Amino acid sequence: MIIYMWCKREEGEIYRDMEALSKMRGSDDMDHNNKDEEVMLPGFRFHPTDEELVGFYLRRKVEKKPLSIELIKQIDIYKYDPWDLPKVSNVGDKEWYFFCIRGRKYRNSIRPNRVTGSGFWKATGIDKPVYSVKETHECIGLKKSLVYYRGSAGKGTKTDWMMHEFRLPPNGKTTNPLNPKNIALEAEVWTLCRIIKRVPSYKKYVAPAVAPAAKQSPVKDSKFKNMQL
């Protein structure tokens, strides 16, 4: 009888051990699946147009409609120097994309703060409108071009790093009519930034062609004799 109870307890322990092992394997499979989901899809390339960046990605960010896959990471790009941004980007090999909140240089100023640890971003030209490709051809966003300078303002050295800053127009339409005021406030805050490093073009030096020297015609003997006379 004692031996029987011992055998039963042993079987129960084996069952519990098998159940725990099964749970552990299931947990390992879940962790393995999660790791697989974090791996980028083979052959995936992310090359959106200006209209797609503004009309789809930025608008969904402003209207708080997140995607299941985080293609564009949200960071404060002004806490990084531009050469460090590719390391924290989710996608891109020659262009890198980020959502960023527009910082203010002063508390009561609308002028944005674009200073980083090693330099600053300087705007070039005026904002360019981004138009919809649909029949309406309405303005759906604004695009600002900036160049990065190393050093302090006024003494900075121009680099090959560029940025396109996209934002929604202040009076743009929204697909979420429930909170139009909140959407307008969000549109003033959020930007979508595309970081690019220009490849400098070096033109091969070609020496200017030298015209061949003119040949002098030989002096005839008769003329030479007349000159001597």
Residues 69-88: pLDDT tens digits?
889 999 999 999 999 999 99
Inside any domain, residue 186: yes
Inside any domain, residue 105: yes
Q: What is the CATH number of the domain that holds 62?
A: 2.170.150.80
Q: Write down the pLDDT at residue 188.
A: 79
| pLDDT tier, 134 (very low <50, low <70, confident <90, very high otherwise) | confident
Inside any domain, residue 7: no
Q: Which of 71, 47, 50 is nearest to 145 (CA)?
A: 50
Q: Provide the 10 A C-beta neighbour count for residue 97.
A: 22
What is the tens place of the pLDDT at every residue in 156-215?
Answer: 999 999 999 999 987 766 555 556 566 667 777 899 999 999 987 666 656 676 666 665
For residue 80, CA distances in Å to 39, 74, 126, 139 come to 25, 13, 25, 31
Q: What percent of the chain has pLDDT over 90?
A: 39
Q: Which of 136, 158, 137, 135 is nearest to 148 (CA)?
A: 158
Over the chain, what is the mean pLDDT? 76
Q: What is the pTM of this model?
A: 0.66
What values do phi and psi take at 126, rounded to 5? Answer: -105, 170
Q: Which of 202, 138, 130, 204 is nearest to 167 (CA)?
A: 130
Using DSSP bridges, classify how beta strands 139-150 and 157-167 pair: parallel, antiparallel or unpaired.
antiparallel
Question: CA geometry: angle at 81 spanning 119 and 167, to 5°?
Answer: 90
Q: Write down the pLDDT at residue 96.
A: 95
- Name which residue leads in pLDDT, 163 or 94: 163
Inside any domain, residue 72: yes
Q: Write down the pLDDT at residue 58.
A: 94
How big is the chain by its Cα radius of gyration, in Å?
34
Average pLDDT of the segment spanning 23-43: 54
- Give me the number of domains the chain comprises: 1
- Name which residue leads in pLDDT, 164 or 66: 164
Inside any domain, residue 4: no
Inside any domain, residue 23: no
Inside any domain, residue 228: no
- Name which residue leads in pLDDT, 68 or 28: 68
Residue 180 domain boundaries = 50-109+117-197
Q: Write down the pLDDT at residue 177.
A: 52
- Alpha-carbon gap, residue 17 to 139, rounded angstroms: 65
The amino acid present at 168, given as its one-letter code, is L
Alpha-helical runs (H) found in 39-89: 50-52, 59-62, 85-88
Inside any domain, residue 124: yes
Contacts of 192 (CB under 8 A, 6+ apart): 53, 54, 57, 58, 61, 72, 97, 98, 99, 100, 165, 166, 167
